[in-house]
Structure 1
Amino acid sequence: MKILFLGDVVGNLGMKMIEQYLPILKRDYKPQLTIVNGENATSFGRGINKKVYKGIMNAGADVITLGNHAWNNEEIFEFIDDTKKLVRPLNFPGQDTPGNGYTIININGKKVAVINLQGRIFMDPIDDPFRMVNDLVDDLKSQVDSIFVDFHAETTSEKQVMAMYLDGKISALVGTHTHVQTNDNRILKNGTAFLTDAGMCGPIDGVLGMKYNNIIHRFLTQRPTRFEVEENGNGIVSGCIIDINNDTGKAKSINTIMISPDHPYQG
């Protein structure tokens, strides 16, 4: 089974890149499951709304994962409970948290669980992702054939530790949130595919998708500045393609995908 995963979609330019390239990537890689992180996909780069959700789904996503900006657009509360295809972090605190932290997709008789987690280092306070995902994976192992985790976290160490903690228990763990693709795609010793960060889909001529002048000003003055999504310039598409053994649920390969002016798509 092949899983195509694309990193954080940022703003209008990110949506344009998804609409342009996701159908092409699906045509060429022929994944059975396509997952996109959409937590920065609105025009102002925070959260998701129904229009954006539908846009990503119409472009070819089967599941959309979120992250720390999940609740930044109040419109999400109007539709997140009505779809199993939009997954927010499992470890958001509270007993009545809207939406779901995971979903199960049936693909040609094989069941795949897609889990969204959020880290705690340099992030807002949140419940323990290690304990919560361990309990969930134990519950799911008799129900599904493979498990994919999008771990939305700030530090490389937390992502790596989580992958090693779950090695052999899940098929793949891919990090999101930092918007810069890492070069450490590998299969861990017990068969779990891992990539510290998938990168982003959005403006490459800014800083993590934001206009760079405001951010330069902040570094020079140490005064608060407003982050604004870059609307112009070049775009980038970052992600990975993972091949999973249908019989064992273990990963066979994980390869990165990057489309940018320096890495034009070759097909």
Structure 2
Amino acid sequence: MKLMFLGDIVGKAGRDVVVAEVPRLREQLGLDFVVANGENAAHGFGISPKICEDLFDAGVDVITGGNHSWDRPEILSYIDEEPRLLRPANFPSGTPGKGVSLFDSRDGKHRVLVINVMCRLFMELLDNPFDALEKALPEGDPAAAGFDCVLVDMHGEATSEKYGIGHFCDGRASLVVGTHTHVPTGDAHILEHGTGYQTDAGMCGDYDSVIGMQKEGSLDRFLNRLPKPRMQPAEGEATLCGTVIETDPKTGLAKRVQPIRIGGKLSPTWPG
């Protein structure tokens, strides 16, 4: 099967490019499933029920989260009602929503396990993501457990921790891909035991910015340490950034993993 994962959607610019491109990409690339990280979709901070519905209508099957999952208070009740919206699995017990869930593709032919975890280095100290992954991952390869694809969205800052998670999941997940830094890394490849990996998928947002936020306000924060108003998302033409994986039906592991970038400031990259 073929799955596309999209990095952090930042503000209206990010939402617009995702809504515009996903229907076309599903058809042109023959995508069976689409997952996107949406924790910055609502004006850069959190996500709203309306935005979730717009993304689902555009062809996104599952939305993952991160440290901004709770920035919009209305999401607290919505996440319990909408199984397609996930938050990191290593939030404490009793937190609303789920961090791990099994989904069917829209044509009913494929089963996809999606796991969302948040890293701990330079981040809020949640429960150990490795413990959460050990509980969620199959013991062997994905196909042996009845899955066509097992996707892990690791939301974190440190590349070392992300690589550690990648190797920890190797052979048990189809794709381990990072979010949070909003910068796409050039290391999409297949690990030793068959898991596709990329340290960060990048953001869906305006790259004439500071990680999606207006550059003037961001520079002012670096230059002057006085209290500042909340940063505002950049609103220029956005780049859609993500990762496309094709899995082996015999194992559910990666046959091919490649980045995708469309529009905006970054050099375009199209899965071959």
The two structures have a TM-score, normalised by structure 1, of 0.93
> By percentage of residues, which structure has more strand?
1
In structure 2, the CA distance between the partners of 1:100 and 1:11, relative to structure 1 (3 Å rule), is same
Q: Distance in 1 between matches of 2:2 and 2:227?
A: 43
Partner of 1:146: 149
User: Aligned AA for 1:49?
Assistant: S
Deviations 1:152-194 (A, max 9, x none): 0011111111001111111110000000000000000100000
Q: Does 1:256 align with 2:259?
A: yes
Letter in 2 for 1:158: E
Unaligned runs of at least 5 residues, structure 1: none
Deviation at 1:35, TM superposition (A): 0.4
Instruction: Report the equivalent of 2:65.
Output: 66
Indicate the residue corresponding to 2:85 in structure 1.
Answer: 86
1:24 Cα offset (Å): 1.6
Alignment of 1:200-215 (within 5 A): 200-215=203-218
Equivalence for 2:37: 37
Q: Does the 8 Å contact 1:111/1:144 carry over to 2?
A: yes
Question: What does residue 216 of structure 1 align with?
Answer: 219
Map of 2:54 onto structure 1? 55
- Cα distance in 2, alignment partners of residues 224 and 166 from structure 1: 42
Deviations 1:55-93 (A, max 9, x none): 111111011101110011101012111121111100011
Deviation string 1:10-35 (CA, Å, 9 cap, x unpaired) is 11111111111111211211111100
C-alpha change, 1:91 and 1:263, in structure 2 (3 Å) is same
* Distance across 2 between alignment mates of 1:109 and 1:257: 24
Q: Distance in 2 between matches of 1:211 and 1:106?
A: 38
**Is 1:129 matched with 2:129?**
yes
Output the amino acid matched with 1:181.
P
In 1, the alpha carbon distance for the partners of 2:174 and 2:97 equals: 24
Q: Distance in 1 between matches of 2:146 and 2:177?
A: 22
- Report percent identity of matched pairs: 39
**Matches of 2:214 and 2:203, distance apart in 1:** 15
**Deviation of the 1:145 alpha carbon:** 4.0
Q: Secondary structure at the match of 2:242?
A: strand
Give the deviation of 1:245 after TM superposition.
0.7
Alignment correspondent of 1:114: 114
What is the aligned partner in structure 1 of residue 95 from structure 2?
Answer: 97
Is the partner of 2:91 in helix, strand or coil?
coil
Q: Partners of 2:64 and 2:270 in 1: how far apart? A: 27
Q: Secondary structure at the match of 1:21?
A: helix
Conservation of the 8 A alpha-carbon contact between 1:117 and 1:150: yes
Is the partner of 1:161 in helix, strand or coil?
helix
Structure-2 residue corresponding to 1:175: 178
What residue identity is the alignment partner of 2:202?
G
Which residue identity lines up with residue 245 of structure 2 in the other structure?
I
The worse-fitting range, judged by mean Cα deviation, of 180-189 and 220-229 is 220-229
Which shifted more, 119-128 or 104-113?
104-113
Distance change (3 Å), C-alpha of 1:138 and 1:21 = closer
Residue 242 of structure 1 aligns to a residue whose secondary structure is strand
Partners of 1:264 and 1:252 in 2: how far apart? 22
Q: Which amino acid aligns with 2:28?
A: D
User: Helix, strand or coil: the match of 1:203?
Assistant: coil
Partner-residue secondary structure (3-state), 2:137 = helix
